A and B are shown apart, each in its own frame.
Chain A
Amino acid sequence: MGKSIIKIDHMAKIYGHASLEVRIRGSKVSQCRLHIEESSRFFERMMKGKRFDEARRLAPRICGICAASHNITAIMAVEDALGIRPSERVRQVREALILGGYVQSHALHGYFLALPDYLGYSGILDMADKYPEHVDRAFRLKRLGNSVIEVLGGRTTHPVTTNVGHFTNRPETGQLDGLLESLEAGLKDAKATVRLFSSFKSPDFSGVRRTAALEDGKSYAILSGRPVIAGRMVEQKDFLDSIEPEERPYSTSRFVKSGGREFVVGPLARMNANHRLLCGEARAALKRSRLKLPNHNPFNANIARAVEMVHCIETCIDVLRKIKKENKRSGEPGTGQPAAYDFKKLGGKRRGCAITEAPRGMLYHEYSVNRDGFITDSSILTPTAQNLGPIESDVRAFLPSVLGRPRQAIISEIEKLIRSYDPCISCATHFLDVKFS
């Protein structure tokens, strides 16, 4: 094999627009580039001049898939800036909302994007005749995740009831009962998903070994804790400083490194860090899946996602039961009044940040708010932006092991690898530096 070029244009079944170009000389990869072709939307600049409570409306529009995560993270960052402390219950409901987002995002990725690769189909819609049970389960899980967001957040894609300091509307017991019922049924589906994905054989491969996730030592950290990058814990507010951005001419998104080296975020990173703190059923499912931890094989992220689904459903059930109990104790919840904040009186440090674990990894939002309550500056770092480097490196490292195969097979293996990261390109492309002329 002499020189050859493999190019995957406008890759399908990922969110957003990206292409991959690999140059091969002999049995060596001489160049591997992930071209990010998504056009920038400049969200960080758009936030400027908006009132503090606008961030929650604009941020979810960054990504239609993990809208709930962007929404909550933006709110938490603004709260940090203004020194507002929401109640523990608000925090729990927010976590349940995000976990609902996990269920729908993981179901979408697992069944709609990844599974057709493993079963040899173009897309899930073609699988309906041969694999009706998988397709039905896919839709059931997707719907379950959506209903969690809809009941708690008011709308499936861009939540509306979440607000700085509180929820504007709270679900009634009737709604909660229905949701609890489907969550309990969904647990079975999630476990079946773990079985399904652990039945596929992952290629023997070890990718980028440095992983990063939130850790709080008490729970499977989603909204709390501090980021730990390759074993080094940093404060949330120092997160951005511990990371070096890198411009690459072929990409509209920046790549990032920490300490000069790449790191991976996402389900496998979370699992490596916190698997002991998973809920009971999820821990059992993890054990049955025979996934060895710590694990650095990106293909196994699919299994990790399925296990997380079990955990999410369990946690949601727990939180919803708590809300129900409280409803019973203190009567049906009324709707909260939009709070009027007196900015002159609020302490706060005016510049605040928040990190949460979004379905694809750590999501960072930072806002500065002035005396009148308007945003003067913002930074957003999405999980996919952190994963772009590792995706490139992994493709480079993985390719030699499949080079002997026919061209189409090589392409399909690479696509599987890239998809296992569940990259969300539309998310990754907003922090392109804007240079003013």
Chain B
Amino acid sequence: MKGRKQTKRGKRGSKPVKLKAGIFAFTCCEGCQLQILDLWDRLFDVLDFVEIEYFKLAQEKNAIREMDLAIVEGAISTKDEAKRLKEIREKSGFLVAIGECAASGGIPAMRSVNLPNFKRPEGMLEKTTGIGKHVKVDYKLRGCPIEREEFLNLVVGLAVGKVPLEINEPVCMECSNREIECLMLKGIPCAGPLTCAGCNALCPSQNTPCEGCRGTMEDAALEQVRERCLEVGATPQMVMNAISRFSTDAVEKTLKRAEARGSKSKANKPRKERGDQ
């Protein structure tokens, strides 16, 4: 992988080599780029080992040249965007998707479920998706918006040739760590059992059900959680709302599969769901 070669360079020298980086935005709310600016003074620490060549939101002079690190925000919804993304991929060593829009399509991707057959404006792709559908993604920073600390960790890590592990455990783990009372037990449908952790259970800690903003885990027990939500008194439509906000794709597929099988079995209820009960 090109990226690994580049980042290794920094490891050898005593002083890290400055990474050339670009920050790009596609279909999104630009909230994740904002998190980068919100690193405040620490942003200048980052600039000690990163040189930002493209950051349209924050500087006038921008150039897409060969770069070590491309940071991409936003989903891909038009042919133009797909083309620009491919160009960015070709010129970059390591490509990071920041935010749920880039990582999985996020909220813009909901259009493929909510608007199945409408007349698309010219140039618009059939589906709005995360950038992974178009190019190879080296790392995903999840969340809507991203956690600033995670971004900092990643960039610092890359500069010294290390890539942090991606988290694949549910928000429930963090809820039990923090001893937060399970909302599901109070009868409130919560996307926590399905959602990648990493936010330190931000919403449940504020008495708000998890909205799933860090995307659905790869091996999420969608069907079981759906049944559990129905048991606590949610309507099917509410459940769909709660678990389909982010990662429309995964939810769509799994639910279809479940329907096809007519699965009602509760045999393999996942441990993680019970974790916080």
Contact of B255 with A by CB under 8 A = no
Q: Which residues from 76 to 91 on chain B have a C-beta closer than 8 Å to any C-beta of chain A?
A: 77-78, 80-81
Is B121 touching A40 in the complex (CB atoms < 8 A)?
A: yes
Contact of A193 with B by CB under 8 A = no
- Interface segment, one of A81-89, A117-125, A178-186: A117-125
Is B114 touching A125 in the complex (CB atoms < 8 A)?
A: no
Residue of B nearest to A121 (CB): B60
Interface string of B227-257 (1 = CB under 8 A from A): 0000000010110010001000000000000
Contact of B27 with A by CB under 8 A = yes
Residues of A within 8 A of B115 (CB): 42, 45, 434
Interface band, chain B = 35 or more
Is A142 touching B40 in the complex (CB atoms < 8 A)?
A: yes
Contact of B275 with A by CB under 8 A = no
Chain B: interface secondary structure? Answer: mixed
A100 to chain B, nearest CB (A): 13
Residues of A within 8 A of B128 (CB): 41
Residues of A within 8 A of B44 (CB): 125, 128
Known contacts A125-B43, A160-B202, A374-B237, A45 near B57 by CB under 8 Å: no
Bound-state Cα–Cα, A125 to B118, Å: 44
Is B29 touching A67 in the complex (CB atoms < 8 A)?
A: yes
Contact of B150 with A by CB under 8 A = no
B233 to chain A, nearest CB (A): 10
Q: Which residues from 122 to 170 on chain A have a C-beta closer than 8 Å to any C-beta of chain B?
A: 122-126, 128, 139, 142-143, 146, 154-158, 160-161, 163, 168-169
Contact of B277 with A by CB under 8 A = no
Is A157 touching B145 in the complex (CB atoms < 8 A)?
A: yes
- Interface segment, one of A53-61, A280-288, A346-354: A53-61
Is B117 touching A436 in the complex (CB atoms < 8 A)?
A: yes
- Interface segment, one of A8-16, A196-204, A259-267: A8-16
Is A16 touching B30 in the complex (CB atoms < 8 A)?
A: yes
Residues of B within 8 A of A112 (CB): 37, 58
A114 to chain B, nearest CB (A): 12
Contact of A46 with B by CB under 8 A = yes
Q: Which residues from 202 to 244 on chain B have a C-beta closer than 8 Å to any C-beta of chain A?
A: 202-203, 206-208, 211, 213, 235, 237-238, 241
Known contacts A13-B57, A125-B43, A374-B237, A41 near B107 by CB under 8 Å: yes
Known contacts A15-B57, A434-B115, A58 near B107 by CB under 8 Å: yes
Is B60 touching A437 in the complex (CB atoms < 8 A)?
A: no
B67 to chain A, nearest CB (A): 17
Residue of A nearest to B31 (CB): A64
Contact of A257 with B by CB under 8 A = no
Is B207 touching A335 in the complex (CB atoms < 8 A)?
A: yes
Contact of A108 with B by CB under 8 A = yes
Is B30 touching A41 in the complex (CB atoms < 8 A)?
A: no
Residues of A within 8 A of B28 (CB): 64, 426
A79 to chain B, nearest CB (A): 17
Contact of B166 with A by CB under 8 A = no
Contact of B141 with A by CB under 8 A = no
Is A139 touching B40 in the complex (CB atoms < 8 A)?
A: yes
Give the contacting residue for B56; candidates A13, A51, A154; CB below 8 A.
A13
Residues of B within 8 A of A10 (CB): 56
Residues of B within 8 A of A374 (CB): 237
Bound-state Cα–Cα, A39 to B28, Å: 9
Is A13 touching B31 in the complex (CB atoms < 8 A)?
A: no
Is B237 touching A46 in the complex (CB atoms < 8 A)?
A: no
Contact of B119 with A by CB under 8 A = yes
Give the contacting residue for B107; candidates A37, A61, A168, A436; CB below 8 A.
A61
Bound-state Cα–Cα, A161 to B205, Å: 10
Is B40 touching A143 in the complex (CB atoms < 8 A)?
A: yes
B61 to chain A, nearest CB (A): 4
Interface string of B63-76 (1 = CB under 8 A from A): 00000000000000
Known contacts A15-B57, A41-B108, A61-B144, A432 near B121 by CB under 8 Å: yes
Contact of B18 with A by CB under 8 A = no
A373 to chain B, nearest CB (A): 9
Contact of A65 with B by CB under 8 A = yes
Bound-state Cα–Cα, A135 to B237, Å: 48
Which of A139, A143, A163, A436 has the most chain B CB atoms closer than 10 A to its own CB? A139
Known contacts A51-B237, A158-B31, A437-B117, A122 near B56 by CB under 8 Å: no
Bound-state Cα–Cα, A354 to B145, Å: 26
Bound-state Cα–Cα, A160 to B58, Å: 27
Contact of A217 with B by CB under 8 A = no
Bound-state Cα–Cα, A19 to B107, Å: 25
Residues of A within 8 A of B56 (CB): 10, 12-13
Residues of A within 8 A of B43 (CB): 125
B15 to chain A, nearest CB (A): 20
Known contacts A51-B238, A158-B145; 6 further A-B pairs (Cβ under 8 A): A42-B111, A58-B245, A61-B107, A125-B44, A374-B237, A432-B121
Question: Which B residues lie at the A interface, using CB under 8 A?
Answer: 25-35, 37-38, 40-41, 43-44, 47, 52, 55-62, 77-78, 80-81, 106-108, 110-111, 114-115, 117-119, 121, 124, 128, 144-145, 188, 202-203, 206-208, 211, 213, 235, 237-238, 241, 245
Would you list the 4 A-B pairs with minimal beta carbon distance, nearest first?
A: A64-B31, A123-B59, A64-B29, A168-B207
Subset of 16 A-B contacts with CB under 8 Å = A13-B60, A39-B77, A40-B124, A41-B108, A42-B114, A61-B106, A63-B30, A121-B60, A123-B58, A124-B58, A128-B44, A160-B203, A160-B206, A168-B207, A426-B30, A436-B117
